[in-house]
Chains A and B, each alone.
Chain A
Amino acid sequence: MERSEHGNRSDTNTDYLFQLLCFLKLHTYTRVQVSIDICGVDYPSRKRRFEVVYNLLSTRYNSRIRVQTSADEVTRISPVVSIFPSAGRWEREVWDMFGVSSINHPDLRRISTDYGFEGHPLRKDLPLSGYVEVRYDDPEKRVVSEPIEMTQEFRYFDFASPWEQRSDG
Chain B
Amino acid sequence: MFLRRVARPLMMMAKVKETTGIVGLDVVPNAREVLINLYNKTLEEIKAVPEDEGYRKAVESFTRHRLKVCHEEKDWESIEKRLGCGQVEELIEEAKDELKLIGHMIVWKPWGIPDDYECEVIENDAPVPKHIPLHRPGPLPEEFYKTLDAVSTSTLEDAVSRSKKDESAIASGKQQSK
Determine the interface band of chain B, counting residues with CB < 8 A from chain A.
35 or more
Q: Which chain B residues lie closer than 8 Å to A62 at the CB level? A: 135, 137-138
User: Would you call A165 an interface residue if the criterion is a C-beta within 8 Å of the partner chain's C-beta atoms?
Assistant: no
Residues of B within 8 A of A6 (CB): 126, 128, 132, 134
Render A1-32 as a binary contact track against B, CB cut-off 8 A, 1 for contact.
11111111010000010011011111111110
- Is the Cβ of B123 less than 8 Å from the Cβ of A23? no
**8 Å CB interface, A149-164 against B:** none
Distance (whole angstroms) from the CB of B72 to the closest CB of chain A: 20
Does B144 lie within 8 Å of A23, measured CB to CB?
no
Determine whether the beta carbon of B177 is less than 8 Å from that of A4.
yes
Find A28's partner among B94, B104, B110, B177 (CB 8 Å cutoff): B94
With contacts A8-B173, A19-B104 known, is A61 near B138, CB below 8 A?
A: yes
Chain B residues with CB under 8 A of A65: 170, 173
Tell me whether A60 is interfacial, beta carbon within 8 Å.
Answer: yes
A19-B110, A61-B138, A63-B174 known; A4 and B123 CB under 8 Å?
A: yes
Interface centre among A1, A2, A29, A65 (most CB of B within 10 A): A29
B62 at the interface (CB under 8 A from A): yes
Which size bracket describes the interface of A in this complex? 20 to 34
Contact B119 A1, beta carbon cutoff 8 Å:
yes
CA–CA, A75 and B5, complex, Å: 71
- What DSSP secondary structure best describes chain A's contact surface? mixed
Q: State A65–B119 Cα separation when bound (angstroms).
A: 16
* Residue numbers in A under 8 Å from B173 (CB-CB): 2, 4, 8, 10, 65
Decide: A22 near B104, CB < 8 A? Known: A8-B173, A28-B62: yes
Contact of A5 with B140 at beta-carbon distance under 8 Å, contacts A28-B94, A30-B170 already known? no
How far apart are the CA atoms of A61 and B110 in the complex, in Å? Answer: 25
A28 touches B123 (CB 8 A): no
Contact of A1 (CB < 8 Å), options: B122, B132, B140, B147: B122
Subset of 23 A-B contacts with CB under 8 Å: A1-B121, A1-B122, A2-B121, A3-B121, A4-B122, A4-B173, A4-B176, A6-B134, A19-B104, A19-B108, A19-B110, A20-B166, A22-B104, A23-B101, A23-B166, A24-B170, A25-B97, A26-B101, A30-B170, A60-B90, A61-B137, A63-B137, A65-B173
Chain B residues in the interface with A (C-beta under 8 A)? 58-59, 62, 86, 90, 94-95, 97-98, 100-101, 104, 108, 110, 119-126, 128, 132, 134-135, 137-138, 140, 144, 147, 166, 169-174, 176-177
| A binding-site residues for B, Cβ under 8 Å | 1-8, 10, 16, 19-20, 22-31, 60-63, 65
